[in-house]
Structure 1
Amino acid sequence: MTPEQIEQLFTRTDGSYAFARWGRPIVPVVFGVEDETLKVVKGAVEAVATLAGAQMDELDGELGANLMFFFSRDWDELLDVPDLGRLIPDLEPLVGRLKAANASQYRAFRFDNDHAIQAAFVFLRMTGEMADIPAETLALSQAVQVIVMWGDQAFAETSPLAVLPETGATILRPEIAGVIAAGYDRMMPAVASDKSHALRLFARLQGAT
């Protein structure tokens, strides 16, 4: 990838550059799925965390779990989740906006005092095309999109995943895997708002080849 392509991955619609990685061990929990799907989602999170070199744990001292996946058939179901309104400010207006936009997914982040990722919330409405996506593909895609904070349009045109023609298996695109690993390099900052950060990521990718 070129430095410009990497920069675009973390550029927001207002033109600002914003990168953040997790500042604490990741503790996932999944709501609204059968046990088999739960294992798939947690397995995908573990695989991406291992790639990144991010830590995982069984318990977050503050929230219990800090990476929460909510699967539903209808956005209104979120309003019935106990205490979710305490975690997601203005939950009712948010549900209204998601319904109005006919959205199929939404992600929200919370940040610590250093602006590293403290918690992430993934909401998925499993109807239409979303319901037809294999669980492994959906889980891997969502895990990738919460391992760091990407730009708003990072994967609007190109998925972070690819299908191996030989086997049909879905994998994380190698260049995206490289960017994630570079972002978690212990010499790199957990948070960055200057575009020069993309050049540092590029340099690490070159060093890894």
Structure 2
Amino acid sequence: MLDPSEIEALFTRADGSFLFARWGRPIAPVVIGVDDATLATVKGAFEAVATLADQPLLTETDPELGANCMVFFFRDWDELRELPDLDRLIPDLGPLLDRLVAAQANQYRIFRFDKAGAIKAAFVFLRMDEALSSVPAEDLALAQVAQTVLLWSDTAFADRSVLGRAGETVLLRPDIAALIRAAYDPVLPAMDQDPAMALRLSARMQAAQ
């Protein structure tokens, strides 16, 4: 079980600011750049995490935004420059891609928020380099969806994966699964910038045991 200081660290960014946010609406995912088998795997990961969080998952589209969680698989960052209208969805796309190319990054996530501060949209970019290509599709999908269901710190999983292992089976770490479940408790706010939120999350995790 995570203690409050560990929970606080998972939502404390590199600049020292604390920010917790969860989705404030049903998630309507769309996956781009994969075959049918991988598509089914990614959709299965969304279904599993949505069920864990008791968060509705739309099979059609969000009435306001259409698809509100877009997952892109590709080989080279420059491929995104050619996608129609992506620059309208993501301001300053060109400079962002330049930075990601320079950093040799293989993944990046962007979130959008509603007036209450809850997540209303997310964009997940996965450049399938040698490292990501070596990860089984089921593991990659589960890890990415878990990292999109909450606004984790930019350093949250730098030292330890969101996934764990039970024998030969790879699954969400039990402590992270419990935290995701607690984070979607209706008694908690959808967004909070006070580090004391970690105490409330801890209390909900203990109550659920």
CA shift at 1:196, angstroms? 0.8
1:1-209 matched pairs, under 5 angstroms: 1-57=2-58, 58-165=60-167, 168-209=168-209
CA offset digits 1:146-176 (Å, max 9, x no partner): 00100111100010101212xx111001100
Question: CA separation in 2, counterparts of 1:133 and 1:77?
Answer: 22
Q: Considering only aligned residues, what root-mean-square deviation do their CA atoms show, in Å?
A: 0.7
CA shift at 1:116, angstroms? 0.5
Secondary structure of the 1:70 match is strand
Secondary structure of the 2:176 match is helix
Secondary structure of the 2:71 match is strand
Q: When the two structures are superposed, what TM-score results if normalisation uses the length of structure 1? A: 0.97
Question: What amino acid does structure 2 have at the position aligned with 1:178?
Answer: A
Q: Unaligned regions of 5+ residues in structure 1, if any?
A: none
CA shift at 1:62, angstroms? 2.2
Tell me which moved more, 58-67 or 44-53.
58-67
Question: CA separation in 1, counterparts of 2:86 and 2:105?
Answer: 19
Question: CA separation in 2, counterparts of 1:131 and 1:95?
Answer: 20
Question: CA separation in 2, counterparts of 1:14 and 1:127?
Answer: 29
Question: CA separation in 1, counterparts of 2:26 and 2:184?
Answer: 13
Question: CA separation in 1, counterparts of 2:136 and 2:16?
Answer: 34
Question: CA separation in 1, counterparts of 2:23 and 2:98?
Answer: 29
Question: CA separation in 1, counterparts of 2:44 and 2:85?
Answer: 26
Question: CA separation in 2, counterparts of 1:72 and 1:62?
Answer: 27
Question: CA separation in 2, counterparts of 1:26 and 1:205?
Answer: 23
Question: CA separation in 1, counterparts of 2:41 and 2:144?
Answer: 12
Q: When the two structures are superposed, what TM-score results if normalisation uses the length of structure 2? A: 0.97
CA offset digits 1:96-144 (Å, max 9, x no partner): 0010000000000001111100100000000111111100000000000
Q: Count how many residue pairs are aligned between Structure 1 and Structure 2.
A: 207
CA shift at 1:63, angstroms? 2.1
CA offset digits 1:181-206 (Å, max 9, x no partner): 11100101000100110000111111
